[in-house]
Amino acid sequence: QVLLVQSGGDVKEPGASVKVSCKTSGYTFTTYSISWVRQAPGQGLEWMGWISTYNGNTNYAQNLQGRVTMTTETSSNTVYMELGSLTSDDTAVYYCARVRTGGVDYWGQGTLVTVSS
């Protein structure tokens, strides 16, 4: 079955960077792009961008341009999301999700990133 398994939670100081991984299985990796979505505590879902696992093309949300980088590693069917210059506003659960027409279908379990001094 389709599975997206993310790395564990992390605590970072303001100004630092965090890198979250998303290992996929159960389907052909390069067939579907991967999106990242985050959810701040008690808040709704915010789309961060997507990356093509076929050619590495990316499309980032405007408000995160310059701070977010998404990469792929085809040899391990893994996608990475790195977010820099962290502030307390970046404290959230980060999800990877497989892209299908019009949205996303399968989701990872989520990774809690806490930004605190």
Binding interface with other proteins (CB under 8 A): 35, 37, 44-47, 49-50, 59, 61-62, 95, 100-110
C-alpha 19/C-alpha 27 separation (Å) is 24
- Nearest CB to other proteins, comparing residues 38 and 74: 38
Q: Is 81 helix (H, G, I), strand (E, B) or coil?
A: strand
Residue 96 Cβ vs other proteins, minimum distance, rounded to whole Å: 10
- Nearest CB to other proteins, comparing residues 27 and 47: 47
| Most distant CA atoms of the chain, gap in Å | 41
Burial of 7: CB neighbours in 10 Å, binned 0-12, 13-18, 19+: middle
Residue 1 Cβ vs other proteins, minimum distance, rounded to whole Å: 11
C-alpha 38/C-alpha 46 separation (Å) is 5
Q: Is 7 helix (H, G, I), strand (E, B) or coil?
A: coil
Residue 80 Cβ vs other proteins, minimum distance, rounded to whole Å: 18
Residue 99 Cβ vs other proteins, minimum distance, rounded to whole Å: 9
- Nearest CB to other proteins, comparing residues 65 and 75: 65
